[in-house]
Amino acid sequence: MRFALLTAPLFFLGACTAAPKEAARSNDSAATAAPSTTRVDLTGAGATFPYPLYARWFNEYATRTNVRINYQSIGSGGGIRQVVARTVDFGATDVPMSDDELAGAGMPVLHIPTVIGAVAITYNLPGLARPLKLSPDVIADIFLGAITQWTHPRITALNPSLTLPATDILVVHRADGSGTSFIFSDFLSAVSTAWAAGPGRGKDVRWPVGIGGKGNEGVAGQVKQMPGAIGYLEVVYARQNRLPVVHVRNAAGRFISPMPFEIASAATSVLEAARLLGDDTDRRESDLRVSLVNAPGAQSYPIASFTWMLIAPSAIGPDKSRQLAAFIRWALIENPEVASTLGYVPLPSEAAARIVDRLDAALDATRARSR
């Protein structure tokens, strides 16, 4: 299930994509990456998930260009609100703006994917010799409260080589609103009609069963304390804390762990399937508020998502828009390895190139209309 495409008169990122301008854009990037005698200050606010990455990128970019970018990690909802209120130059969100939010903004707001995140499912089942395998329908029914025992036939059928305990399943979920909950509930809505018709997707979900933990650390703490527990959290947190994670069956029928290549494969598969990569004219008007959950492809991890920067060119003017575009090109094309070193998954190189070219074209179109 994908987010609905934007409809006129809303603005499509890349609505006027021209032929690739690698040479010209490379020269622009080189110019903007060189130190300037004039300091430029940009302000942003939003999602907490990409904050460590953004902080590193912003710091390195400031030393190279004299462009100082100040970012407040206040959450996705706050980032959206501040962009719409025009109190910041850009926002950041793990949850794309809805069509109604975009219509209510009163101006075009571009969604620029910057990095890929994923949700891991962790568990506390001491003594397992191999990772636990679960299918999407089983995961949904666990979190719906329809499957309550670890020895349920649908779980044991997926794990014939494991000796599972005859104990209750203890569900742990986020107690606070979060992009992580949005991604996980988006996945559950995509794979389960019962979930879609019931709790649905959102940052704040009315969980049918379980206990809440605040933040990734709260969920992890509850799961660690209770044998038989299962919960969800950001994959970066799971990896850094060496937590066991479920191998989830993807749309191709393979059990996949949340590793960087498999997470990136989800993005590539969705962008290709949605015809959002390429130069031909029928791919120009593209909405990059796409969902990556339950992605096609043999290697795709099924609980992945973009995180986005939000830019409203008409609100901040051409100079700041150009500065932000130069930063995004530098970060995504020239310095994606920074994301990897911090545990994030960078955009596939082709996707990154297309995204920044479309951003440049979108800004060119905005300038042309304002003349």
- Which position has the higher pLDDT, 215 or 195? 195
For 22-117+275-293+303-370, give the CATH class: alpha beta
**Does residue 23 sit in helix, strand or coil?**
helix
pLDDT of residue 271: 86
pLDDT at 19 over 60: no
Residue 177's pLDDT band, with cuts at 50, 70 and 90, is confident
Domain boundaries defined on the chain: 22-117+275-293+303-370, 119-263
Residue 50's pLDDT band, with cuts at 50, 70 and 90, is very high
pLDDT of residue 261: 94
Angle between helices 179-191 and 136-144 (to 10 degrees): 110
pLDDT at 1 over 50: no
Looking at every residue in the chain, the average pLDDT score rounds to: 87
pTM of the model: 0.84
Mean pLDDT for the stretch of residues 306-320: 95
Per-residue pLDDT of 233-272, as tens digits, reads 999 899 888 999 999 999 999 999 999 999 999 999 998 8
CB 248, CB 187: distance < 8 Å: no
* Of the candidate ranges 3-7, 86-90, 237-241, 249-253, the one whose mean pLDDT is the lowest: 3-7
pLDDT of residue 279: 56
Residue 281's pLDDT band, with cuts at 50, 70 and 90, is very low
In sequence order, the β-bridge partners of residue 185 are: none
Per-residue pLDDT of 161-171, as tens digits, reads 999 999 999 99
Pure H helices in 241-283:
260-273
- How far is C-alpha 54 from the chain's CA centre? 14
Per-residue pLDDT of 336-355, as tens digits, reads 999 999 889 999 998 899 89
pLDDT at 82 over 50: yes
Residue 18's pLDDT band, with cuts at 50, 70 and 90, is very low
pLDDT of residue 195: 98
Closest-CA residue to 246 (of 116, 135, 105): 135
pLDDT of residue 3: 45
pLDDT at 30 over 90: no
Q: Are strands 304-311 and 110-123 parallel, antiparallel or unpaired?
A: antiparallel
Task: Please report, for residues 34, 79, 89, 303, the alpha-carbon distance to residue 86 in angstroms, rounded to integers and kept in the order given.
Answer: 29, 11, 7, 32
Mean pLDDT for the stretch of residues 179-183: 93
pLDDT at 228 over 50: yes
> Fold identical between 22-117+275-293+303-370 and 119-263?
yes
pLDDT of residue 26: 43
Question: Does the domain made of 119-263 have the CATH classification 3.40.190.10?
Answer: yes
